[in-house]
Amino acid sequence: MTQRIGFIGLGRMGRPMASNLCRRGFDLVVFDVVPSAMAEATRLGARTASGVSGVASEATIVLTMLPDSAVVEEVLCGGGGVLTHAAPGTLMVEMSTIDPRVTDRIAAAAIAKGCAFVDAPVGRLASHAERGECLFMVGADTDDFARVRPLLDAMGTTIHYCGPVGSGIRTKLVNNYLAIISCQLNAEALALSQRFGLSLARTLEVIHGTTATNGQLKINWPAKVLAGDTEPGFTIDLAHKDLTLIVEAANAVKVPVPIAAAAREAFTVARGHGSGDRDFSAMVDVLCEIARIEKPRLK
């Protein structure tokens, strides 16, 4: 059966992902609440729908990349949502970072309507999406995973099958917990190093030679904040959103996460400082600005 692909949500991540599907020759119909966001996909050969219902009525597989849990649930399960208009057998692929309890509710609603559901949240940044280098963490029935795999391969280079539906988003939250917490730890450590008057290069040389190092500090930060680049790849606002999801999801299963809660408040301070739209590596700049410390930079 020829698959007709629908894509809802053409924002910073969704637009390049949909564009890569077009480039790979998939039959694509798209929708976004911002009409101009559909222009590039249209130039590449996608058709546009007048709304969610138009995508759902045309597509056999519907992908969504949306900003938060409430929007995802409304688009998929609301009165005018995908499930209202989709034919039985339609496969929904949800790629946003949302509350896993919302994922579970949507999956149950899809099954009740005779549809299928896959959660496939995205790792990596918008720059990777532009190059077709996304990483996906997939929760799915094995048959549904096989059905959606060609689409994921068209948008990314690394696909992890994490288990049944709901496993993908839960894996994403665990991964983002460590990635975001690392930024806060690094910010505090480097601010302290700056206050001590230490050489940043020598301090990093020591850290990278011990178990104190981490991927953010060793890989991401030298190309971002330590090079003076705080243009957003992943914003402080989004990091704060994910920490909130992590804390709430952990509370729901009675796992204490005091470090996540403390880090979330640090990100709250950064947002109050007016820095929510900066790259999350800029947490160190925010801390240095507040403490009136010279910002760490590799010359």
pLDDT, tens digit, 9 for 90 and up, residues 229-279: 999 989 999 999 999 999 999 999 999 999 999 999 999 999 999 999 999
Tell me what the mean pLDDT of segment 189-195 comes to.
98
> Does residue 199 sit in the same domain as residue 107?
no
Is 255 found in the same domain as 238?
Answer: yes
Across 96-112, average pLDDT: 97
Predicted local confidence at residue 298, as pLDDT: 95
In a domain, 66, yes or no: yes
Q: Which of 172, 224, 241, 295 is catalytic?
A: 172
Task: Please indicate, yes or no, whether residues 90 and 58 belong to a single structural domain of this protein.
Answer: yes
* 197 and 156 in a common domain: no
Q: Give catalytic status of residue 172 as yes or no.
A: yes
pLDDT exceeds 70 at position 1:
no
- Given a cut of 70, is residue 142 above it in pLDDT? yes
| Domain tally, the chain | 2
Q: What is the CATH number of the domain that holds 253?
A: 1.10.1040.10
Split at pLDDT 50, 70, 90, the class of 86 is: very high
Q: Which domain holds residue 156?
A: 5-165
Band (2; pLDDT cuts 50, 70, 90): confident
Q: For residue 3, is pLDDT > 90? A: no
| pLDDT at position 106 | 98
Query: Do 256 and 208 lie in a common domain?
Result: yes
Q: Is residue 236 located within the same domain as residue 145? A: no
How far apart (Å, rounded) are the C-alpha atoms in residues 233 and 155? 18
Boundary (domain end) residue, out of 138, 165, 192:
165
CATH of the domain at 78: 3.40.50.720
Q: Identify the domain boundary among 165, 186, 207.
A: 165
Q: What is the pLDDT of residues 154-175, one digit of tens each?
A: 999 999 999 999 999 999 999 9
In a domain, 298, yes or no: no
- Phi, psi at 103, each rounded to 5°: -55, -45
Average pLDDT taken over every residue of the chain: 96
Of 119, 148, 165, the position where a domain reaches its end is 165
